[in-house]
């Protein structure tokens, strides 16, 4: 029963919402909208599990005095402060908390987010050097197309040769789009097949226990 | 060089430098910034979920509009907490089943339509649209060949030899050019972020650039 009930729920909801797509009535659309609203609420509760797991991980590090354990205090304190400011900052009379929340976002979260991704530019460049040293025809194609696209979007590219932006656009619009379309086609078929397998109860790995 | 007098700008600048210090090697400043970033981002995520998911879809309907039907998703969502109980742990499968069943059913037909039918339709339309004329039609045909050969590369139901091997080889050229283009775009996006950060340091923090 522990496995049958979830499988029946998936089957009923899956078949119902599959056919809902083909019924464009107002009632059908309203049911879809309400259900999507419900799923947003349900998935929001899963965040609590994720935060609980993060808390457990860092509390364990603090309790066992693992190396650099004090950094875990920073993580937990930042999490609690940011969450509370974000939640209570919208309450009437507590607007200063909301202002502090926005400041923390603009001057702490956002700069670090950008800096984290910015340093990836260096690592991608060095990884590209190691990975793409045109050892084969395919690697050479990848290297050349990447290089032209990069040159195509900066003023230096058109300074070198005025046609470079046009070639970059051609790469994006013809071979790149062809490959992306082919991959998307496969992804679409994959999603369709997996969805059907889940609805019909053939794919059961989400139940745990290795899908038995 | 005139430094900014805004303490928030100083905080942002110091944290940016802490992150950039990783380019030299992993160090205490980077680790501090990294942990702070994880905490702040997780807290931000909690606040966003609370304000954008729970409040408008659960709190407001139930407590302001007295629409008590909306208690049901709240109760189903709370079933995630059975995860912490050994005896009733299996009940976590109920909210999972609701999400999976709804997600699979809702997106099955639209995904097939958008990712399979529409893509094929556009590829064929580009290759047969005589109004494009000249090079437009040629590139449409090239793109169509690219789609077919890319698909043939992922066709594993038969051993890739003979015509299929040739087609798959052409497909891998298209795929490599596509990956190269994606790589180029990703690198440029990262470089753009780097320029943004350096500009912030030089403009807002030390006022070298006006």
Predicted structure pTM score? 0.86
Residue A211 has a pLDDT of 44
Residue that has been written with the tokens 């797509």 in this structure:
A21
Distance CA B134, CA B123 (A): 17
Confidence of residue A104 (pLDDT cuts 50, 70, 90): very high
Give Dmax (Cα) for chain B.
71
| A111 contacts B197? CB cut-off 8 A | yes
Closest CA to A12 of B100, B109, B107: B100
Distance CA B79, CA B93 (A): 8
Q: How far is CA A67 from the centre of its chain?
A: 30
What ipTM goes with this model? 0.86
Residues 164-193 on B with a CB inside 8 Å of A are 171-191, 193
**Residues of chain A found within 8 Å of residue B81, distances taken between Cβ atoms:** 45, 48-49
Confidence check: pLDDT of B85 > 60: yes
Give me chain A's average pLDDT, please. 90
Distance CA B91, CA B80 (A): 8
pLDDT in tens, B130-179: 777 788 888 999 999 999 999 999 888 888 888 899 999 999 999 999 99
| B12 has a chain A CB within 8 A of its CB | yes
Residue A149 and residue A173 in contact, taking contact as beta carbons nearer than 8 Å: no
Confidence check: pLDDT of A124 > 80: yes
- Give the mutation candidate from B17, B26, B35, B78 for the A interface (greatest A CB count, under 10 A): B35
Determine the distance in angstroms separating the CA of A74 from the nearest CA of chain B, rounded to an integer: 6
Q: What is the dihedral of CA A97, A102, A104, A109, to 10 degrees?
A: 140
Residue A100 and residue A89 in contact, taking contact as beta carbons nearer than 8 Å: yes
**Both tokens assigned to B200:** 């912030």
pLDDT in tens, B34-49: 999 999 999 999 999 9
> Structural domain boundaries of chain B?
129-210
The backbone torsions φ and ψ at residue A208, rounded to the nearest 5 degrees and listed phi first, read 85, 175
Residue B84 has a pLDDT of 81
pLDDT in tens, A43-65: 998 888 899 999 999 999 999 99
Residue A212 has a pLDDT of 46
**Residues of chain B found within 8 Å of residue A39, distances taken between Cβ atoms:** 73, 98-99, 102-103
pLDDT > 70 fraction of chain B, expressed in percent and rounded = 100
- Alpha helices (runs of H) in chain A, residue ranges in sequence order: 4-20, 26-63, 70-88, 95-104, 110-131, 137-152, 155-160, 164-173, 175-199
Residue A209 has a pLDDT of 65
For residues A18-25, average pLDDT:
90
């Amino acid at each position: 029963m522990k496995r049958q009930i979830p499988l029946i729920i998936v089957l009923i909801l899956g078949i119902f919402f599959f056919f809902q797509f083909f019924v464009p009535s107002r009632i059908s659309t309203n049911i879809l909208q309400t259900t999507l609203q419900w799923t947003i609420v349900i998935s929001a509760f899963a965040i609590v599990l994720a935060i609980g797991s993060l808390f457990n991980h860092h509390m364990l590090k603090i309790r066992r005095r693992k190396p650099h354990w004090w950094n875990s205090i920073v993580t937990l304190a930042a999490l609690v402060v940011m969450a509370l400011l974000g939640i209570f900052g919208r309450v009437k009379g507590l607007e200063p908390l909301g202002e502090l929340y926005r400041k923390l976002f603009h001057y702490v979260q956002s700069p670090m987010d950008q800096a984290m991704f910015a340093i990836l530019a260096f690592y991608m460049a060095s990884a590209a050097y190691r990975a793409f040293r045109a050892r084969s025809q395919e690697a050479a194609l990848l290297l050349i197309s990447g290089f032209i696209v990069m040159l195509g979007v900066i003023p230096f590219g058109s300074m070198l040769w005025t046609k470079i932006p046009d070639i970059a656009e051609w790469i994006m619009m013809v071979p790149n789009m062809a490959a992306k379309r082919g991959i998307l086609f496969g992804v679409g078929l994959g999603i369709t097949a997996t969805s059907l397998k889940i609805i019909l109860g053939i794919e059961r790995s989400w139940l745990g226990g290795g899908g038995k | 060089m005139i430094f900014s007098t805004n303490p928030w700008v100083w905080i942002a600048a110091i944290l940016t430098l802490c992150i950039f210090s990783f380019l030299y090697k992993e160090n205490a400043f980077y680790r501090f910034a990294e942990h702070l970033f994880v905490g702040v981002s997780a807290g931000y995520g909690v606040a966003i979920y609370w304000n954008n998911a729970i409040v408008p879809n659960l709190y407001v309907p139930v407590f302001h509009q007295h629409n008590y039907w909306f208690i049901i998703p709240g109760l189903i969502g709370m079933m995630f907490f059975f995860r912490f109980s050994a005896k009733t742990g299996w009940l976590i499968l109920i909210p999972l089943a609701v999400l999976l069943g709804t997600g699979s059913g809702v997106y099955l037909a639209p995904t097939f339509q958008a990712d399979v039918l529409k893509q094929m339709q556009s590829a064929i339309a580009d290759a047969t649209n005589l109004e494009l004329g000249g090079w437009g039609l040629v590139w449409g045909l090239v793109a169509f060949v690219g789609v077919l050969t890319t698909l043939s590369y992922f066709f594993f139901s038969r051993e890739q030899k003979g015509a299929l091997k040739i087609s798959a080889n052409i497909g891998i050229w298209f795929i490599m050019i596509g990956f190269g283009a994606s790589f180029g775009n990703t690198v440029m996006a990262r470089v753009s972020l780097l320029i943004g950060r350096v500009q912030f340091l030089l403009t807002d923090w030390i006022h070298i650039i006006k």
